[in-house]
Structure 1
């Protein structure tokens, strides 16, 4: 049975779908945009809001226009930080912030929580039941992790 997040308009978002496609969205612009559209109405949940924010940051990578890149990144950063503020002890939300912070260009100055999030995730891995999520977090915490090229 898929895990879902109930959203304000009565629809639900499949967490397994988000987890399975999050990494793919980095290289697939169409998928990234479709996931953002799917989440647009659901960002009232902290986890859905964190995915929405992370995907907006990823969408910045796909944009060619520097202003659109910056607007998408800033909106994504704000949504991510709002999600972390709502549920600072949520492992998935902290992972999403880490995945963005350790992969963005340094000049954007959004890397201040990398060490803290890495420590938090390492200390709370035992709480994760999703194989997909655990796999993504382990990849982010190991030396095998290959960050997205600077955008």
Structure 2
């Protein structure tokens, strides 16, 4: 019994550590092409098929278009379609909404993938207080550096 409990605890700790690494890498991915590549590699290596992991993988597909020379449009379309499908299946997941908002904020306007910025921003503000401490911290860090939020909106996150 103790072995089983230890195994489950170790598994949960391993998964959380990996997700924390993915989040940290994602937060830095837009700073340089090297950081983008590091995030893409980390996201693609993630085991599991949960919605959040798949959301980061979809974002990695979109971000790959930033560093490759060909098939950019297809990469963005594939990643955006996947991300939209994941969010459609998990509309109340704040982390997925944060991923989509950050992608849409940073993608060139000419691509046209910017239709959910306002909705995701409102969702983050309205659902922030319902999250655990880890997600609150992650969301708050994103909001504080985001171009989409006003100072008054940032001040509402406590």
Structure 1's unaligned 5+ residue stretches are 6-12, 145-151
User: d(CA) in 2 for partners of 1:76 and 1:137?
Assistant: 23
1:124 deviates by 1.1
Note if 1:135 corresponds to 2:138.
no
User: d(CA) in 1 for partners of 2:102 and 2:14?
Assistant: 21
For the aligned residue pairs, the C-alpha RMSD in angstroms reads 2.3
Stretches of 4+ aligned residues off by more than 4 angstroms: none
Superimposed CA distance per residue, residues 15-71 of structure 1 (whole angstroms, 9 cap, x where no aligned partner)? 1111111022232243033123213x53x2111111111111111111122x2x112
Q: Which has the higher contact order (CA 8 A, sep 6+)?
A: 1
Q: What is the aligned length?
A: 133
Aligned partner of 2:51 among 30, 46, 51: 46
Aligned partner of 1:36 among 43, 50, 68: 43
Q: Give 2:83's aligned residue.
A: 80
CA contact (8 A) 1:19 1:133 kept: no
Secondary structure at the aligned position of 2:106 is classed as: coil
CA contact (8 A) 2:29 2:39 kept: yes
Secondary structure at the aligned position of 1:14 is classed as: helix
Structure 2's unaligned 5+ residue stretches are 1-11, 152-158
Q: Give 2:120's aligned residue.
A: 117
1:107 deviates by 1.8
1:85 deviates by 1.0
1:143 deviates by 5.0
Bigger helix share: 2
Compared with structure 1, are the counterparts of its residues 127 and 139 closer, same or farther at alpha carbon in structure 2 (3 Å cutoff)? farther
User: d(CA) in 1 for partners of 2:111 and 2:67?
Assistant: 16
Compared with structure 1, are the counterparts of its residues 143 and 92 closer, same or farther at alpha carbon in structure 2 (3 Å cutoff)? same
TM-score by length of 2: 0.73
User: d(CA) in 2 for partners of 1:133 and 1:37?
Assistant: 22
Q: Give 2:15's aligned residue.
A: 4
CA contact (8 A) 2:58 2:82 kept: yes
Larger Rg belongs to: 2
